[in-house]
Each structure stands twice: as structure tokens, then as C-alpha cells.
Amino acid sequence: MKQLIHRLVVIENNLAKEKGPFWLFALVLPKSSQTGWDLIVAAPWLDSGIVGLEYVTNLLKSRLTDKEFRQIARVIIYDKFSATLKRAFREVPKQDGAQELRDTTFLGLPVTQGYVIAVGELEQAAAR
């Protein structure tokens, strides 16, 4: 698991330098999940539709091992108008490095474990 988190931190850092910052980049294991982790992302430059989903999925396939990629069951992309995204800004303090979550609720979703790799600012999302 540590290797997957490390690779996701590197992916997030590289993309933020190349394309711009993320409002949210998190990996969570929902308590109800039978299949794996959810990667939750939001960025001003990332389309929240199928184009964005294909971009993120192809990027993950190219930068993760097959085993690591199979651990991610879903990719969820929020746009700047999402009330759920705005909730993330209130729930998660901005900090450097991955913040670990354990047995909590994240964005209204009960999670067993999770890692918030990046969180932006509410003002950034509201201003765009």
C-alpha cells in the first residue's frame, strides 16, 4: 500500500507542476467496498466528464503497475460546482504530504482508510 500511495503522490506532484494544482486528490477505501479503493480528484483543468475520466485512467495505467492499478476500483471526478468538493475544503485542513484517514466519514462516505494527497482552497474553486 505504501508503494501505491508513494506513486500517487508522485503522480499528483508531477501533474500539479505540469497542468496546475488540484483542488482535491484523495484515495479512500469505502467501508461498503467489495472491490477496492476510490480515487477522488478535482482540478480546474480537469474535465469532470468522460474526457477527464479517460485522461486520469490512462495516466494511472501508464504510471502504476498492473497490481497497483487493479487496487483502484473507481475514479471519481468532481467539478468546481460540486457541493461535495466544497465540503472537502471544510473537512480537510490544507497541509503538505499525504494525510491518513482511518474509520471516519469523508465527503459523506464512511471509509475504512484513506489518504488525502492534496487539498486546495475553497476560494480557488469558487473563483474559477
How many Å apart are CA 60 and CA 5, to the nearest integer? 12
For 26, the grid coordinates are 484523495
How many Å apart are CA 21 and CA 39, to the nearest integer? 16
Helix H, strand E, coil C: the string for 47-76 is: CCCHHHHHHHHHHHHHHCCHHHHHCEEEEE
pLDDT in tens, the chain (128 residues): 899 999 999 999 999 999 999 989 999 999 999 899 999 999 999 998 999 999 999 999 999 999 999 999 999 998 877 877 877 777 776 766 788 999 998 888 899 999 999 988 654 444 44
Residue 45, domain extent: 2-127
Model pTM score: 0.88
- How many domains does the chain divide into? 1
Identify the CATH number of the domain in which residue 57 sits: 3.30.300
